[in-house]
Amino acid sequence: MTMVFIVIAVVSGALIIGALWGVYGRLGDKMEGFLVAIAGGALLLSVTTELIEPAIEQSSVLHAMAGVGAGALVFVLVDQLIANTIGEDSGGGLLAAITLDGIPENLALGVALIAAGPMEVAALAGSILLSNLPEAAGGARDMRDSGWSKRRIVGIWAVTAAILSVAAVTGNVLLDTAGEGTLALIRSFAAGAVVASLATEVFPKAYREDSQWAGIATAIGVILAFSLGSLGGG
């Protein structure tokens, strides 16, 4: 259980650190786009290797694809709701992306930590941190530019980190005996939310802010995530 809390602290702490960086630090447009593209590249790889492929192995292609479709649909609906209420460029989209894919992802992370070795734990935590930090920084910066108070922004991201921490603990404590079908649905739903967020929030923002280097940054994210995954696989 100690290892679980260490991983949770690293993963959730990345959200808070990213939010503080976005609110109080100097984060230029091009740097923000570059970092968000790195996060996108990391998510691009993890959505297939850590979410969709295990979901298919645990259930079936049809079962997994239904979960992917559901996750994408829910994300798009929530993203549209946020855009209509607080604005498309408010940073709420990235917040929705982290929350909607983060809750099922952290449930699955909690389960994975039950039997994971130290290297696998490092790989899992590193991959999620790699995507959470720049997304939180970019989202918090956009919120600040939209006129939100700094205290409110940090508070919102801290609450988000707490919610994701609870999800990870829940997955570790309550889902260790869950059936493979349930875990497959959780993973595939998270994958759908990730895919939708990449298409509507992450890559468009990265290209808009740093069109020249967005492709290279995305490749760097894939390389880093693949390297961490290889480390975890021994």
Give the separation between CA 148 and CA 190, rounded to whole angstroms. 28
Determine the pLDDT at residue 107.
73
Structure tokens at 61: 């292609």
Per-residue pLDDT tens listing for the chain (234 residues): 666 777 788 878 888 998 898 888 877 778 888 888 888 888 888 788 878 888 899 889 999 999 999 989 988 888 777 767 755 555 566 566 667 666 766 776 676 666 556 666 666 667 677 777 887 888 888 888 888 889 988 998 898 888 888 888 887 787 777 788 888 888 888 888 888 888 887 898 889 888 889 999 999 989 988 887 776 555
Residue 156, pLDDT score: 87
pLDDT, position 91:
55
What pLDDT was estimated at residue 70? 93
Does this model's pTM top 0.85? My answer is no
The pLDDT value recorded for residue 26 is: 78
